[in-house]
Amino acid sequence: MLSSKVMKKYTIYIFLLLCLMGTACKKYLDQNPKDALASGDFWQKKSDFDQALAAAYSSLQAAEFAVELPVWDCFTDNGYAQHNSGSAKEIVSGSISSTTGGYIPQLYKDAYAGIARINIFLMQLAKYTGPDFPDADKKKYEAEARFLRAYFYFQLYNIYGDVPVVLEPLSLETQNQAKVAAPDVLKQVLADADFAIANLNAAPYYQNGGHACVSSAQALKARTLIFAAYGSNGTPDAALLTQVRDLTQQIQAQYKLSANFEDVFRDASQKGNTEIIFSINFLAPNNTAPWDMYYGDWLVASPLQNFVNDFECTDGLPYGTSPLTNPAAPFENRDPRLKKTVFVDHPDFGGGKIHTPSNSRPTGYGVMKFLVPENIPYGFSTLSQQNAVVFRLGEILLMYAEAQNELSGPDATVYKAMTDLRARVSMPPYPVGLTKDQMRQRIRHERRIELAFEGLRYFDLRRWHTASTVLNAVKDGINPYHYEDKFYHWPLPQPEIDKSGGVLVQNPEYK
């Protein structure tokens, strides 16, 4: 039995020891995440910039820019979105306000998220002085980043009009940015696109390893200009269209139409495809997008009857007028693109490759264009890796024809462009002797057919200022269609107006 004095001594020592243990372990209060990098450790070598560039490209994978491109066509006379994707119902029926959900706030958020990533990349790129990154390469990386930024600002310009232009990374202190007038946003898009054209690789996209190249930037510039060319009332601007014509001529030199129409949209034939000028890439199993599940199983987009009727018969005459019209077998003797774009009730690729969709077919039709027969059955586990095609030669030919027709009427080059495009699917050329107005109608019709469900129809109708006429006349939509002129620009999302403390002002038409 220890004496209490000895006990006291030992216990005091033990107590002090425990205290020391506690304070010595103070460094366990310094904890850092184990699966992420402190920003001080990054941007130290060229491979860091490769990773950052990959992340910048991946911001294009946001649904509304990639796998949901067909949903944009459901805002038009082409289709119906039965799950109200992107708030299609509100947009189609005219309930567009600053508090509408769907793409109106989503696109704003995703575009600026991409822009922020690019601005941080560019800032770090400018600061980097390591020897493993020669200036010539740095210029290329800068050009790629600016091409991406041009694409995002193009989207914002096209949809909202006046938006803030941000070229530096922002912080909490600088977060309230005022918007800039639409023409200045356009200037920024063109400035970035021009820099990209001047500094990217000259090789065509199919030989450039999936990185943006000069022709990609030219295609972006051409689309931007042709979208801006019709001004605020549909009258084309000759100066802009001349630039479009020239750009599209340059692009055509490097590309060839894909032999098969469907090869452009199926992953197995997209690598090295001579028609694709820029695409947003996906790769199974870890970087996929649900193309097959959305369009083959869920029928996220359903083509409308009037769209199906708009396909010509194999003789080049409209369905209904042509003697080949056969209501009992409406898909026989039609423009081959009909069967490649639309399926009736369920996708059937022949040879037993059939899939029964789990969701209903509200219009009786579904979108076939982006489906891959090898992935049947379509469901949650389907790993679709189709790339989202952004620019392709088909669109370039149509842009060329449209621009040249407006500038000098339907000359031989216009006819040739359209003949080549139609010959790919064995459709006959246009009859000779068309007037400028007739050719314009033909070209606009061809755009609708060729580029169906690639996300361009909505913008076509808006830029030609025919949206009110066309959309308000739609009779076979599931939702009632109502289009007003103010919808040429969407409102800025209300939460953004609220958060900016009065700095960001709403589009006056939506006050």
Interface with other proteins in residues 281-310 (CB under 8 A): 281-287
Interface positions, 484-503, toward other proteins (CB under 8 A):
493, 495-496, 498-501
501: left (phi over 0), alpha (psi -120 to 50) or beta: left
Residue 71 and residue 116 in contact, taking contact as beta carbons nearer than 8 Å: no
Q: Examine residue 274 and tell whether it contacts other proteins (CB under 8 A).
A: no
Nearest to 493 by CA among 179, 164, 101: 101
Closer residue to other proteins, CB minimum distance, 148 or 241: 148
CA distances in angstroms from 297 to 337, 358, 377, 453, listed in the order given: 21, 6, 9, 17
Pairwise CA distance, residues 112 & 179, whole Å:
13
In this structure, are residues 158 and 213 in contact, taking their beta carbons and an 8 Å threshold? no
Using rule CB under 8 A, residue 433 touches other proteins: no
By the rule CB under 8 A, 55 interacts with other proteins: yes
x/- track of binding to other proteins for residues 24-43 (CB under 8 A): -xx-xxxxxxxxxxxxx-x-
Determine, following the binding rule CB under 8 A, whether residue 15 of this chain makes contact with other proteins: yes
Smallest distance from the beta carbon of 468 to other proteins, in angstroms? 17
Q: CA-to-CA distance for 244 and 252, rounded, in angstroms? A: 12
Name residues whose C-beta falls within 8 Å of residue 76's C-beta, 6 or more positions apart in sequence.
457, 458, 461, 470, 471
User: Least CB distance from residue 23 to other proteins, whole Å?
Assistant: 8
Q: Which is nearer to other proteins, 248 or 385 (CB)?
A: 385
Q: Does 175 bind other proteins (CB under 8 A)?
A: yes
| 135 binds other proteins per the rule CB under 8 A | no
Q: Is 181 in the site for other proteins (CB under 8 A)?
A: no
Given candidates 108, 205, 400, 458, which one binds other proteins under the rule CB under 8 A? 108
Residue 48 has φ and ψ, to the nearest 5°, of: -65, -40
Which of the stretches 101-109, 302-310, 402-410, 454-462 binds other proteins when contact is defined by CB under 8 A?
101-109
How far is it, in rounded angstroms, from Cα 64 to Cα 152?
12
Q: Which of 72, 79, 85, 117 binds other proteins (CB under 8 A)?
A: 117
Considering only 13, 44, 45, 51, the residue that binds other proteins (CB under 8 A) is 51
Q: How near is the Cβ of 58 to other proteins at its closest, in Å?
A: 4
Give alpha helix (H) positions in 301-454. Answer: 305-309, 336-341, 393-408, 412-423, 436-450
Per-residue x/- mask for other proteins, residues 347 to 386, rule CB under 8 A? Answer: ---------xxx-x-x--------------x-xxxxx-x-
Q: Does 120 engage in binding with other proteins (CB under 8 A)?
A: yes
**109 binds other proteins, rule: CB under 8 A:** yes
Instruction: Please answer whether residues 440 and 405 qualify as being in contact, where contact means their C-beta atoms are separated by less than 8 angstroms.
Output: yes
- Contact call for residue 435 and other proteins (CB under 8 A): no
- With CB under 8 A as the contact rule, which of the stretches 50-58, 193-201, 407-415, 437-445 interacts with other proteins? 50-58
Is 22 near other proteins (CB under 8 A)? yes
Name the residue nearer to other proteins (CB basis): 40 or 327: 40
Site stretch for other proteins (CB under 8 A), options 47-55, 234-242, 307-315, 425-433: 47-55
Judged by CB under 8 A, does residue 3 bind other proteins?
no
Which residue's entry shows tokens 């590309």?
255
Residue 173 makes contact with other proteins by CB under 8 A:
no
Here the tokens at position 309 are: 């009727």
* Binding residues for other proteins restricted to 468-487, rule: CB under 8 A: 478-480, 482
Tokens of 437: 């107005």
Residue 82, both tokens: 């039965």
Alpha helices by DSSP H, listed for 128-237, are 135-159, 182-199, 214-228
- Classify the phi-psi angles of 163: left when phi > 0, otherwise alpha if psi is within -120 to 50, otherwise beta: beta
Q: Does 215 bind other proteins (CB under 8 A)?
A: no
Exactly one of 54, 329, 412, 432 binds other proteins (CB under 8 A); that residue is 54
Q: Which of 46, 48, 407, 434 binds other proteins (CB under 8 A)?
A: 48
| 381-420 binders of other proteins (CB under 8 A) | 381-383, 385, 387
CA distance to 231, 310, 454, per residue, from 465 (Å): 9, 20, 20
Q: Which is nearer to other proteins, 72 or 282 (CB)?
A: 282
Question: Is residue 176 within the footprint of other proteins (CB under 8 A)?
Answer: yes
Residue 70's closest CA among 81, 82, 57?
Answer: 81
Query: Residue count at the site for other proteins (CB under 8 A)?
Result: 106
* Class of residue 253 by CB neighbours under 10 A (exposed 0-12, middle 13-18, buried 19+): exposed
Q: Is the distance from CB of 108 to CB of 492 less than 8 angstroms?
A: yes
Contacting residue, 211, 334, 440, 463, with other proteins by CB under 8 A: 211
Least Cβ distance, residue 170 to other proteins (angstroms): 5
**146 is a site residue for other proteins (CB under 8 A):** no
Q: For the CA atoms of 103, 109, 115, 120, what is the dihedral angle to 10 degrees?
A: -160
CB of 55 to other proteins, least distance (A): 3
